[in-house]
């Protein structure tokens, strides 16, 4: 079985993903795939540099994520253009890896960590969607602390995603990560029991 794991930025998806892996799940990380598709020499990176200028490249030819972020997080049209370059490649690789894992380990839960699952309308790719939830105010505070952002920068990143409450409405299962780690772990255990992963 495969599940799409999602959440808002800084909600703790990676923490929950690690807990699921500890319990025997296989993890496919869409963010990691997103980095792979823009490695130096890839057609996607060439296209990104062509569209957004050489300023989005570091001296070694790799992607300058911060510079690109400054461009796209403040400009919806630019963000959509970037997504049109990257998303088809990311999805194709994601689907390929899901199929490989399902073939090789049919008894394992395949967890695909997809930050923009609902924004990209990818629910149909998964048998179930799981949301890692924290309230927006906590999301903002954690994002500012984690990425050393100003409130304005953090707000623009949150604005680029669907509001967390809207995601909550769409998810098949919600893990609330706003409390202690032990409480999150308890909810993950409960979810795994439901999936027969004892």
Q: Is the dihedral of CA 143, 147, 153, 157 positive or negative?
A: negative
Residue ranges with strand state E in 38-99? none
Q: Is the pLDDT of residue 181 over 90?
A: yes
Q: How would DSSP label each residue in 146-181?
A: HHT--HHHHHHHHHTS--HHHHHHH-SEEEE-SS-H
Residue 198 has pLDDT above 70, yes or no: no
Question: Token pair for residue 72?
Answer: 């796209």
pLDDT digits (tens, 9 = 90+) for 82-132: 999 999 999 999 999 999 999 998 889 999 999 889 988 999 999 999 999
For residue range 8-61, what is the model confidence (pLDDT) as tens digits? Answer: 889 999 999 999 999 999 999 998 999 999 999 999 999 999 999 999 999 999
CA distance 73 to 57: 17
Closest CA to 173 of 192, 198, 159, 160: 192
């Amino acid at each position: 079985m495969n599940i799409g794991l999602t959440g808002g930025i800084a909600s703790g998806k990676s923490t929950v993903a690690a807990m699921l892996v500890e319990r025997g799940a296989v993890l496919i990380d869409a963010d990691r795939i997103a980095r792979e598709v823009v490695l130096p020499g890839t057609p996607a990176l060439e296209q990104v540099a062509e569209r957004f200028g050489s300023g989005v490249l570091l001296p070694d030819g790799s992607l300058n994520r911060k510079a690109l972020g400054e461009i796209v997080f403040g400009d919806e049209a630019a963000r959509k253009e970037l997504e049109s370059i990257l998303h088809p490649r990311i999805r194709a690789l994601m689907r390929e890896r899901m199929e490989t894992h399902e073939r090789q380990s049919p008894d394992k839960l395949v967890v695909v960590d997809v930050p923009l699952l609902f924004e990209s309308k990818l629910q149909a790719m998964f048998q179930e969607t799981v949301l890692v939830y924290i309230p927006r105010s906590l999301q903002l505070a954690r994002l500012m602390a984690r990425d050393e952002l100003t409130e304005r920068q953090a707000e623009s990143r949150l604005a680029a995603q669907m509001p967390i409450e809207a995601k909550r409405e769409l998810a098949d299962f919600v893990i609330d990560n706003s409390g202690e780690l032990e409480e999150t772990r308890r909810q993950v255990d409960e979810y795994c029991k439901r999936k027969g992963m004892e």
